[in-house]
Amino acid sequence: MAKKKKVLILNGPNLNLLGKRQPEIYGRLTLEQINRKIHALAKELGVEVEIRQSNSEGELVNWVQESPKQFGALVINAAAYTHSSVALRDALAAAGIPAVEVHISNIHKREEFRKQSLIAEVVIGQITGFGVQSYLLGLRAAVEYL
Ligand code: CA2
């Protein structure tokens, strides 16, 4: 499939623990179950998705840097790096690829430190607080920019 039809979905640190701890905040679905829903929607929308997760900031930065070679848009849940990573922000700005920031919980309804997103200014927009639907809405939004 041509690069323009592919969306890269990136997940940051600790999202591999989804469904196993803190279900009251992050829900009961595992990352694998969420990924299945994303793949099902991608099929419906006629786009290809690749989904990756890493606990390493450097690996996420490398993936963002390389993304324009293969992908037309990004959906990113940078998890805790949302609030701390200038490196990820710089990589997103440099890649210049349309990106949608997503969060499972509403980061604006939680602790003060979560209210600031360092990547918000370099993405198209932010979808936060809709649980697994944040990823699905994020994919729908990203597809509009392919
Ligand atoms: O709400 C989101 O999607 C977050 O990006 C999730 C991050 C958090 O640091 C952000 O502020 C908001 C945390 C991901 C860790 O997920 C866990 C899941 C289960 C158990 C422990 C952590």
- For the chain, give every domain's residue range: 6-144
For residue 144, give the 3-state DSSP assignment: coil
With a cut of 60, say whether residue 85 has pLDDT above it: yes
Q: What is the pLDDT of residue 20?
A: 86
pLDDT in tens, 39-65: 999 999 999 999 999 999 999 999 999
Q: Let me know if domain 6-144 sits in CATH 3.30.530.20.
A: no
| For the chain, percent of residues with pLDDT exceeding 90 | 93
Provide the terminal-to-terminal Cα distance of the chain, rounded to the nearest Å. Answer: 13
**Per-residue model confidence as pLDDT tens digits over 133-142:** 999 999 999 9
Quickly count: other Cβ atoms within 10 Å of residue 53's Cβ.
19
Is the shortest distance between the CB of 143 and ligand 1 below 6 Å?
Answer: no
Q: What distance in angstroms lies between residue 13's CA and the mean position of ligand 1's atoms?
A: 8
The residue contributing the CA closest to ligand 1 atom 3 is 103
What's the angle, vertex CA 125, arms to CA 88 and CA 79, rounded to 5?
Answer: 45
DSSP, res 7: E
**What residues are annotated to the active site?**
26, 103
Give Cβ neighbours of residue 50 (< 8 Å, ≥ 6 apart).
Answer: 6, 7, 8, 9, 71
**103: CA distance to ligand 1 center in Å?**
8
pLDDT at 3 over 60: no
The minimum-distance atom of ligand 1 relative to the CA of 103 is 3
Kindly report the average pLDDT of the chain as a whole number: 96
